[in-house]
Amino acid sequence: MRSATVPPPRTPRLGRGWYLAAVLSAVLAVGMCLLGWRQADQADRIEAHPVRVEGVVTQLPTGGGSYSAVSYRVGGQAHTAAALPLADGTKVGDPICLEHAADDAGAVRICGDTYPQPVGVGLARYSVPVAVALFLVCVWRIRRHRRAIAVRTGQGRIATTVAFAAGALAEGMPAITDGKRSRRKRRAGGRRALH
C-alpha cells in the first residue's frame, strides 16, 4: 500500500514593493540626515566667524525646478549661492546682504538667517522620522514573512515525514503479521509431529 506524499503548504508571497520601500526609505532617511547635518555644520561655521559681503540676485525661482541664484565676490573670486530664501518682491539685480564663513566662502547665508537653506532643514526634521518609521515597518513585515515561511516549511517537512513513516508502517504490517503466523504454524506443526 503506497501513501500519497503530502505537498507542503503554500507560502504566501511577499511583493517586491516591501523590499523597494525599505531601500528607498533608508536612502531617504540617510540623505535627509546628511542634508540637515550639512546645513547645521555650515550655520555653525558661519556663526563662528561671519564675514559680511554684498551679493546680487542673478536668478529667481520660476517654479519649474529652478532655484534662485545670488552671485557675490570674496577675495576677488566670484561665487554663486543657490536656493537661498529670498524675500517676496525681490527682483533680478537687487542687492542682497550675505554672511559667509571666514574659512569657507561657499558656506553662505542671508544676513539674519540661521541656516543657509532653512527649507532643507525643516524638510529633514519632518522627513527623517517618517522615513525611519516606514523603514522599520517594512523590516518588520519582511521579518514576519520570513518567519512564516520558516514555520510553514517546518510544518511541511513534519507532515511529509509523518506520511512516509505511516506509509512504511502500513506496508510493513503484513510482513510482520505473516511472519508471526508462519512461526506459529511451524511451532504448531512441530508439536503435532512430536505427538
Average pLDDT over residues 134-157: 82
Confidence of residue 128 (pLDDT cuts 50, 70, 90): very high
Average pLDDT over residues 137-165: 73
pLDDT number for residue 180: 52
pLDDT number for residue 18: 85
pTM above 0.75, yes or no: no
> What's the residue count for the chain?
195
Burial classification of residue 91, based on how many CB atoms lie within 10 Å of its CB (0-12 exposed, 13-18 middle, 19 or more buried):
exposed
pLDDT tens across 162-187, in order? 555 555 545 555 554 555 555 555 55
Task: Say if CB 105 and CB 96 are below 8 A apart.
Answer: no
pLDDT tens across 42-67, in order? 999 999 999 999 999 999 988 766 78
Task: Say if CB 64 and CB 78 are below 8 A apart.
Answer: no
pLDDT number for residue 1: 47
DSSP 65: S
pLDDT number for residue 109: 96
Buried b (16+ CB within 10 A) or exposed e, 3-38: eeeeeeeeeeeeeeeeeebbeebbebbeebeebbeb
pLDDT tens across 8-26, in order? 555 566 678 888 999 999 9
- Quote the percentage of the chain above a pLDDT of 90: 50
pLDDT tens across 66-82, in order? 789 999 999 899 999 99
Name the residue ranges covered by the structural domains of the chain.
16-134
